[in-house]
Chain A
Amino acid sequence: MNISDPSETFRQEARELLDQLEAGLLDLEQDPSNNDLINSTFRALHTIKGSGAMFGFTAVAEFVHEFETAFDRVRKGQSAANKALIGVALDAKDHIHLLIENPDAPIDGGASILSELRVIVEEGAIDEDGEPVHAAPVAVAAPVAPVVAEAPKPAENGAKVWRLTFYLPSDALIYGTNPELLLGELAGIGPTSVLALSDRVPTLDVIDPETSYLGWQVDITTSEDPTAAIDDVFLFLRDNMELTLAPLGGADTPVAVAEAVQAASDDAMPEAPFVPEPVAKVEEAPAAKAAAPKRKPAEKAEAEKPAATSLRVPAERLDELMDRVGELVIAQARLSQIATQSSDGALKTIAEELERLSSGLRDTTMGIRMVPIGSIFSRFRRLVHDLSNDLGKPIEFITTGEETELDKTMIERLADPLVHLIRNSVDHGLESAEKRIAAGKSPTGTVRLSAVYSGAEVAISVIDDGAGLNHDRIRAKAEENGLIAPDAKLTDQELNHLIFAPGFSTANEVTALSGRGVGMDVVKRTIDGLRGTIDVSTTPGKGSVFTLRLPLTLAIIDGMLVRVGNGRYTIPLAAVEECVELPEGIEANSKGRNFLDIRGALVPYLRLREVFGLKGEADAHQKVVIVSSGEGRVGLVVDQIIGNNQAVIKQLSKLHSGIKSFSGATILGDGEVALILDTAHLVASGQSYVDRNLGRAA
């Protein structure tokens, strides 16, 4: 990604705007009379058009212009945002996406989408009772709230003269603005008479030929309120220019604003400071003034404000920063170790200071990389919307916890597994409407996507209220595929997990939706790769829950350092529940079964010494670290608990990646390498041990 390539910048921004557009359209489907939604959707469209034209994406600009024209009727309350309209609008959005990604390729379909759009808009037209167009929003009670209600109404119905006075920003010419074109566009609004204002032109000796000194006074004759149209003309200049607009001879209140009504980057585009959106702002201003007094100071803060609130940084730089911080943490750990062994007070002080600073820096850096998971949730709404249409299953899709933050790379890699899980829930989980009614359920199925923090993990669940997993069919399929022996005794949990086995598919009915090459085994592998776990629980007839548990970050974890034999190992602290002493003489009592009684619950334990095949005598007083992963718990018997450490995770090379007990390695304060235990794997092997033993005991 080359950040200095302007068309790439446009593309990036357009992608965000398209996401916004899509989210807006989907929201609008739920809430068709929501005026804010209509406006924000319109604004997104408008910005795409404007910047598209600016960066030479003519096809995009032309298409969006038509789209916008049709949609404008919705905005003006002349047409309802019904389901059909949203459907076509979504197609149109996809088309824009194609146009933006492949600017040079000829892409068909645009014309048919547009004509469809026009037809729907005409059909959906709302009876206006002969009201004049500009008054429509006021007169029509629903669905549009009176946004432009406070715009001055013309005293009489005829044409009116508006006086527009403007001075371009002084650097406008340097950035390629052509005043002649602007005047041309103004002339498009209505008959104009133009007067150039030369009062600010300095004397010849100080004149800078590249600076714009001229102002213009333009009298426009039009029957409508030209505010919005004029804002369109100055879309990219409004930040820094002076502009006044007032009707001549009518009420003398100036409508639009001297200086920019620079409403900061508040609602619509918090992450896109590049293009300000003054368009609808002017319209909103009167209505919003009471509700949002925060905008007033923004007028003074001027144009710098949006630039200061967010900043685009290439992802690689963040990765690099994280690497550096990782190295700093290691170096700092070494310093701390030396300081504890030293008697030099000054050294100790600075080591402590540095420890505090570096852990702060670590947290800040990781914070920078945190992205709310809502950024991918929105694309699932579209997925469910489309699936619902394709399969003819009415579906309600509910998302919660969009604000939950996860490491950026994690979120990117989560998208595919989540798509698959949702697809799976909709396709295989939810029954058809008829079956649901027969089962006494609401015909509309529900799919929930939720994200919550749980300790140092994030739990993401895909919940459906469908038929649940069919254990008999899973068993039959697994036997057929040779995954299990025909008479194998399996717990429900084990049966549930069979669907993640490679080569397993219950796709008796291969639908158009399954078979994108991503199987449940790929989901599992991806989640494993993120050091996460996946749980399934299901209630026949009631639905299934797929829960992904993921660490917040891939780069640095808090660890508990333990010693087994001569080796030191790090256990991710997030997984540690408690530490207990291994009761002496437990061997004698347990009759060969390795269970601990933790407040009444039987917890299996693994002797890491045996797991690792270490020689030598165990320490006299062994400790048990109880770790959990998902539902399961297991005790890990170690010789000594050394303490806590910050572990910068280093991946193991291919030579060691096959060893399941370890998820990576880290470098300790004294420069030695310690392996990081893969608790999920250890818990799983401990759990299978429980199942085997309890199964036999029962």
Chain B
Amino acid sequence: MSDTKGYMTALTIRLEDELFAVEASRVREILDLVPITEVPSARAFVGGLINVRGRVVPLADLRVMFGMERPAPDQDTRIVVMEVDIDGEPTIAGILADKVHDVTDIESASIEEAPKVGMRWRPEFVKGIGKRNGGFIIIPDMERIFETPGGRSASAAASEERPAA
């Protein structure tokens, strides 16, 4: 987030029916759905591998961490290839998006801290909530999502969270 500029340039994506914003500067490319190789006994959050121009890249599904439904991909499904820091090491990873919208500037002033209560997802995964056109945009905390030790057994965590959602 660039406070100096007064706004954050973000790529907005849709997961289920919520808008999420990821920092545009981290995004490498956006791919149509490619064949996904399942990794047995990996946690559901990073259960797949994809081939990005000859590189084997892990594919993450944020919907697992936010306890959302995971419907089968459709023609709007995209993979956003981006750089995330995992334990301090920059790593290329893909994230699944139900739909990719656009690149937009979100006013820093409009970004609020995630409320501790009243959210249906875990507040530590949300860095802030921005507003645009009267709607909300969730800014996920990618580092924390990728690093969270709870996520290591996310298949269990996800199945616990799902009924609550």
Interface, chain A (partner B; CB < 8 A): 327, 330, 566-568, 611-614, 650, 652-656, 658-659, 661-662, 665-667, 671-675
Among the interface residues B34, B37, B50, B57, which one has the most CB atoms of the partner chain A within 10 A? B37
Mask of B22-44 contacts with A, CB within 8 angstroms, 1/0 = 00000000000011011111100
Interface, chain B (partner A; CB < 8 A): 34-35, 37-42, 46, 49-51, 54-58, 60, 86-87, 89, 91-93, 146, 152
Given contacts A650-B55, A656-B58, contact A675 B37 (CB under 8 A): yes
Please, how many angstroms separate the alpha-carbon atoms of A661 and B92 in the complex? 22
Q: Are B39 and A656 in contact (CB under 8 A)?
A: yes
Closest 7 A/B residue pairs (Cβ): A612-B40, A673-B37, A650-B56, A673-B49, A665-B56, A655-B46, A655-B58
Chain A positions within 8 Å of B152 at CB level: 658
Q: Are A675 and B41 in contact (CB under 8 A)?
A: no
Q: Are B37 and A653 in contact (CB under 8 A)?
A: no
Please, how many angstroms separate the alpha-carbon atoms of A636 and B37 in the complex? 20
Least CB separation from A568: chain B residue: B37
Given contacts A667-B56, A673-B49, A675-B49, contact A654 B41 (CB under 8 A): no
Please, how many angstroms separate the alpha-carbon atoms of A612 and B40 in the complex? 5
Partner of B35, one of A653, A661, A672: A672
Chain A positions within 8 Å of B37 at CB level: 567-568, 665, 672-675
In the assembled complex, how far is the CB of residue A613 from the closest CB belonging to chain B, in whole angstroms? 6
Q: Are B49 and A665 in contact (CB under 8 A)?
A: yes
Interface of B, helix, strand, loop or mixed by DSSP: strand
In the assembled complex, how far is the CB of residue B45 from the closest CB belonging to chain A, in whole angstroms? 9
Given contacts A567-B37, A672-B51, A675-B49, contact A659 B42 (CB under 8 A): yes
Given contacts A654-B86, A654-B89, A655-B46, contact A667 B40 (CB under 8 A): no
Partner of B42, one of A330, A568, A656, A674: A656
Chain A positions within 8 Å of B92 at CB level: 653
In the assembled complex, how far is the CB of residue B158 from the closest CB belonging to chain A, in whole angstroms? 15
Among the interface residues B39, B40, B58, B60, which one has the most CB atoms of the partner chain A within 10 A? B40
Q: Are B41 and A655 in contact (CB under 8 A)?
A: no
Among the interface residues B35, B41, B55, B93, which one has the most CB atoms of the partner chain A within 10 A? B41
Among the interface residues B38, B91, B93, B152, which one has the most CB atoms of the partner chain A within 10 A? B38
Please, how many angstroms separate the alpha-carbon atoms of A654 and B147 in the complex? 10
In the assembled complex, how far is the CB of residue A312 from the closest CB belonging to chain B, in whole angstroms? 30
Chain B positions within 8 Å of A675 at CB level: 37, 39, 49
Partner of B54, one of A327, A656, A661, A672: A327
Partner of B40, one of A567, A650, A652, A653: A567
Chain A positions within 8 Å of B41 at CB level: 612-613, 659, 661
Partner of A654, one of B42, B56, B91: B91
Beyond A650-B56, A654-B91, A671-B51, 14 extra complex contacts between A and B, CB < 8 Å? A652-B56, A653-B91, A653-B92, A655-B146, A656-B39, A659-B39, A659-B42, A662-B39, A665-B37, A667-B54, A672-B51, A673-B37, A675-B37, A675-B49
Please, how many angstroms separate the alpha-carbon atoms of A642 and B118 in the complex? 53
Least CB separation from A611: chain B residue: B40
Chain A positions within 8 Å of B35 at CB level: 671-673
In the assembled complex, how far is the CB of residue A448 from the closest CB belonging to chain B, in whole angstroms? 41
Q: Are B93 and A653 in contact (CB under 8 A)?
A: yes
Please, how many angstroms separate the alpha-carbon atoms of A327 and B53 in the complex? 10
A-B contact pairs, 14 of them (CB 8 A): A566-B38, A613-B41, A652-B56, A653-B57, A653-B91, A654-B86, A654-B87, A655-B42, A655-B91, A656-B46, A665-B56, A667-B51, A673-B49, A674-B37
In the assembled complex, how far is the CB of residue A355 from the closest CB belonging to chain B, in whole angstroms? 18
Partner of A567, one of B38, B51, B55: B38
In the assembled complex, how far is the CB of residue A562 from the closest CB belonging to chain B, in whole angstroms? 13
Chain A positions within 8 Å of B46 at CB level: 655-656
Chain B positions within 8 Å of A652 at CB level: 56, 58
Least CB separation from B40: chain A residue: A612
Please, how many angstroms separate the alpha-carbon atoms of A658 and B41 in the complex? 10
Chain B positions within 8 Å of A671 at CB level: 34-35, 51
Least CB separation from A651: chain B residue: B56
Chain B positions within 8 Å of A656 at CB level: 39, 42, 46, 49, 58
Chain A positions within 8 Å of B40 at CB level: 567, 611-614, 659, 661
In the assembled complex, how far is the CB of residue A264 from the closest CB belonging to chain B, in whole angstroms? 43
Please, how many angstroms separate the alpha-carbon atoms of A403 and B152 in the complex? 46
Please, how many angstroms separate the alpha-carbon atoms of A653 and B37 in the complex? 14
Chain B positions within 8 Å of A655 at CB level: 42, 46, 58, 60, 86, 91, 93, 146
Chain A positions within 8 Å of B51 at CB level: 667, 671-673
In the assembled complex, how far is the CB of residue B94 from the closest CB belonging to chain A, in whole angstroms? 11
In the assembled complex, how far is the CB of residue B85 from the closest CB belonging to chain A, in whole angstroms? 10
Least CB separation from A612: chain B residue: B40
Least CB separation from B38: chain A residue: A567
Q: Are B89 and A673 in contact (CB under 8 A)?
A: no
Q: Are A653 and B42 in contact (CB under 8 A)?
A: no
Partner of B86, one of A653, A665, A674: A653
Chain A positions within 8 Å of B56 at CB level: 650, 652, 665-667, 673
Chain A positions within 8 Å of B89 at CB level: 654
Chain B positions within 8 Å of A673 at CB level: 35, 37, 49-51, 56
Least CB separation from A564: chain B residue: B40
Least CB separation from B50: chain A residue: A673
Please, how many angstroms separate the alpha-carbon atoms of A327 and B55 in the complex? 10
Least CB separation from B87: chain A residue: A654
Q: Are A653 and B39 in contact (CB under 8 A)?
A: no
In the assembled complex, how far is the CB of residue B162 from the closest CB belonging to chain A, in whole angstroms? 18
Least CB separation from B55: chain A residue: A650
Chain B positions within 8 Å of A612 at CB level: 40-41
Please, how many angstroms separate the alpha-carbon atoms of A611 and B40 in the complex? 8
Please, how many angstroms separate the alpha-carbon atoms of A614 and B39 in the complex? 11
In the assembled complex, how far is the CB of residue A501 from the closest CB belonging to chain B, in whole angstroms? 23
Please, how many angstroms separate the alpha-carbon atoms of A545 and B106 in the complex? 66
Chain A positions within 8 Å of B87 at CB level: 654
In the assembled complex, how far is the CB of residue B1 from the closest CB belonging to chain A, in whole angstroms? 24
Please, how many angstroms separate the alpha-carbon atoms of A652 and B49 in the complex? 9
Chain B positions within 8 Å of A653 at CB level: 57-58, 86, 91-93
Least CB separation from B39: chain A residue: A656
Chain B positions within 8 Å of A613 at CB level: 40-41
In the assembled complex, how far is the CB of residue B81 from the closest CB belonging to chain A, in whole angstroms? 13
Chain B positions within 8 Å of A650 at CB level: 55-56
Chain B positions within 8 Å of A666 at CB level: 56
Among the interface residues B34, B41, B49, which one has the most CB atoms of the partner chain A within 10 A? B49
Among the interface residues A650, A667, A673, which one has the most CB atoms of the partner chain B within 10 A? A673
Chain A positions within 8 Å of B38 at CB level: 566-567
In the assembled complex, how far is the CB of residue A160 from the closest CB belonging to chain B, in whole angstroms? 73
Q: Are A330 and B54 in contact (CB under 8 A)?
A: yes
In the assembled complex, how far is the CB of residue A119 from the closest CB belonging to chain B, in whole angstroms? 57
Please, how many angstroms separate the alpha-carbon atoms of A363 and B88 in the complex? 37
Least CB separation from A326: chain B residue: B54
Please, how many angstroms separate the alpha-carbon atoms of A330 and B49 in the complex? 17
Please, how many angstroms separate the alpha-carbon atoms of A188 and B51 in the complex? 71
Least CB separation from A662: chain B residue: B39
